[in-house]
A and B are shown apart, each in its own frame.
Chain A
Amino acid sequence: DQQVKQNSPSLSVQEGRISILNCDYTNSMFDYFLWYKKYPAEGPTFLISISSIKDKNEDGRFTVFLNKSAKHLSLHIVPSQPGDSAVYFCAASEEYDAGKSTFGDGTTLTVKP
């Protein structure tokens, strides 16, 4: 049973518009959630995180929303830029520890100029 799911394998948006990437989880013990961005031939890089005591965290163009009752989180990128084109991984962990995170399968975002 996959505990972290990213149901959209891919997403395509126009430059300047909003990108919304979604993630669902099943384990109610998860209390810390992270998004990573990955370019080809590189390792994932940390983008933004949120703990379960919050429902929103914002960092520049990136905002993560957490809906604990629905076990759902989303990453909003606005405005989207061509350089945002990458694979985005959602990750979840327990005890506010990013280590041993459980990852989703990723969503490939393409931002068209």
Chain B
Amino acid sequence: GAGVSQSPSNKVTEKGKDVELRCDPISGHTALYWYRQSLGQGLEFLIYFQGNSAPDKSGLPSDRFSAERTGGSVSTLTIQRTQQEDSAVYFCASSVRTDLHFGNGTRLTVT
């Protein structure tokens, strides 16, 4: 069956450029999360969407990060003016409360 789909799988960008990461969650999952994993670290919560409610942005590390979820389905995470410390794997997950279903992530490298 279709799982959580993320694109691109890899992205290399120059410092200062903007990037957009896309997530297509499992159909019917109303909750969608973005996490990131820096090298050697655990997963760090970034942002959470639940249905039509206002998103929980409490994990976003700076105002350069933003995310949208259109029509309650596809989500994009945008990082403006990327910095080298933004290099990480960005995971999207959707949920039915009892556990998270993760995509394979987007590996972002900022040079």
A residues contacting B by CB (< 8 A) are 4, 6, 34, 36, 41-46, 49, 89, 91, 96-106
Contact = CB atoms under 8 A, between A and B. Distances in A.
A80 B8 CA distance: 34
A99 to B, nearest CB: 5
Contacts, number: 60
Given A89-B43, A103-B43, A105-B41, A98 B104 contact: no
Contact of B40 (A46, A98, A105): A105
Nearest to B56: A100
Residues of B contacting A: mostly: strand
Given A99-B31, A99-B48, A100-B48, A43 B102 contact: yes
A103 B101 contact: no
Contact of B4 (A6, A34, A43, A106): A43
B91 interface: yes
B103 interface: yes
A46 B48 contact: no
Contacts of B105: 42-43
A86 B46 CA distance: 24
A91 B50 CA distance: 20
Given A89-B43, A105-B41, A105-B42, A99 B104 contact: no
Residue of A4, A36, A42, A44 contacting most chain B CB atoms (<10 Å): A44
A49 B42 contact: no
A6 B41 CA distance: 11
B99 A43 contact: no
